[in-house]
């Protein structure tokens, strides 16, 4: 009886990372194309199809993709955490493990948040509660801050948390990424996130902001069209930033060991 030979798969880490980046970027460009032309310019007369590719809807293709993408990033970071734990020799490695694990949880949270629009809905809930308190004799400092804040209420509530997490990521990854080139790419990724949040802030301003600022007139188009294209650009930059993070953490994961092996044995 012939003895069964094991199956061996050999993959070059740099090739895998590069192909994943271009694959994800291609999907993101396709999502933007479908939103702009099939949805916004109504290449399709079927409303349900336009809704499916409408980048501003919670039940759209783009929302599903961005959620899955962020969860994948979080899962890769958890693999890094386990790889670091295998190197544990003292409390220094234990602290690194918990830091990586927290970052992984953060990205998984972002994926879940994208799927259920957690921060937007919590911002709305806080807005309702603060509005109820306005009827009292002393509405409080929080309501006064809400009244003064010009954009979406979620940014006032969640902004400090995201800013603190960004500072922690910059500090920790400066020391822990295996290459300074990866850290510079991380700066690119987080900059894309910052620009996306800035666009979201502008979208939450007065409904006539783009018209009053002369942006609609500069492009000789309607205010609603500029608003939609701004949302499309915001979502694209966010997805691209997540793709940059994915390639950074994948490359860092592969650098932790020169060779990775997966053994699957079946009982005869």
Question: pLDDT tens per residue, the chain (268 residues)?
Answer: 456 666 666 777 788 899 999 999 999 999 999 999 999 888 988 999 999 999 988 888 999 999 999 999 999 999 999 888 877 766 667 888 899 999 999 999 999 988 888 877 777 777 777 666 666 556 667 667 776 777 777 788 888 889 999 999 999 999 888 788 899 999 999 999 999 999 888 887 766 655 555 565 544 566 677 788 888 999 999 999 999 999 999 999 988 876 666 666 666 5
What pLDDT is recorded for position 41?
A: 85
CA nearest to 30, candidates 51, 63, 71, 61: 61
For residue 127, the tally of other CB atoms under 10 A from its CB is: 17
pLDDT in tens, 25-63: 999 999 999 999 999 888 988 999 999 999 988 888 999
pLDDT value for 66: 94
Helix ranges (H only) for the chain are 13-33, 47-53, 61-86, 91-116, 118-133, 141-148, 153-176, 180-203, 209-212, 215-218, 223-255
- Quick one: which of 259, 238, 230 has its CA closest to 8? 259
In which residue are the tokens 């994926």 written?
Answer: 111
What's residue 53's pLDDT?
Answer: 93
Between the two ends of the chain, the Cα-to-Cα distance in Å is 13
Per-residue model confidence (pLDDT) at position 134: 62
Helices (H), 204-222: 209-212, 215-218
Q: Tokens 């930059």 label which residue?
A: 237
Q: Comparing C-alpha atoms, which of 254, 234, 257 is closest to residue 246?
A: 254
Q: pTM (2 decimals)? A: 0.85
SS3 state at 40: helix
Angle, CA 248 vertex, CA 167 and CA 35 arms, to 5°: 90
The pLDDT score that the predictor gives to residue 87 is: 73
Model pLDDT, residue 218: 45
Predicted pLDDT at 1: 46
């Amino acid at each position: 009886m012939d003895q069964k030979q094991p199956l061996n798969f050999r993959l070059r880490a740099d090739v895998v990372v590069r192909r994943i980046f271009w694959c994800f970027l291609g999907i993101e460009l396709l999502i933007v194309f479908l939103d702009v032309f099939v949805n916004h310019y109504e290449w399709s007369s079927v409303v349900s199809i336009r809704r499916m590719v409408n980048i501003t809807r919670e039940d759209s293709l783009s929302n599903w993709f961005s959620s899955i993408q962020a969860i994948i990033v979080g899962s890769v970071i958890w693999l890094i955490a386990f790889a670091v734990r295998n190197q544990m020799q003292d409390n220094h490695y234990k602290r690194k493990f918990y830091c990586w694990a927290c970052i992984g949880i953060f990205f998984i949270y972002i994926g879940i948040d994208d799927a259920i629009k957690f921060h937007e809905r919590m911002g709305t809930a806080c807005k309702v509660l603060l509005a109820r308190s306005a009827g009292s004799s002393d509405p409080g400092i929080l309501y006064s801050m809400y009244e003064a804040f010009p954009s979406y209420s979620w940014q006032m509530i969640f902004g400090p948390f995201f800013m603190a997490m960004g500072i922690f990521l910059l500090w920790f990854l400066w020391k822990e990424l295996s290459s300074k080139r990866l850290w510079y790419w991380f700066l690119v990724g987080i900059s894309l996130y910052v620009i996306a949040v800035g666009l979201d802030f502008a979208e939450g301003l007065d409904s006539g902001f783009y018209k009053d600022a002369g942006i609609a007139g500069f492009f000789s188009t309607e205010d609603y069209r500029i608003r939609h294209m701004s949302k499309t650009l915001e979502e694209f930059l966010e997805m691209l930033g997540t793709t940059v993070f994915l390639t950074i953490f994948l490359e860092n994961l592969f650098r932790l060991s020169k060779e990775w092996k997966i053994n699957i044995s079946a009982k005869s």
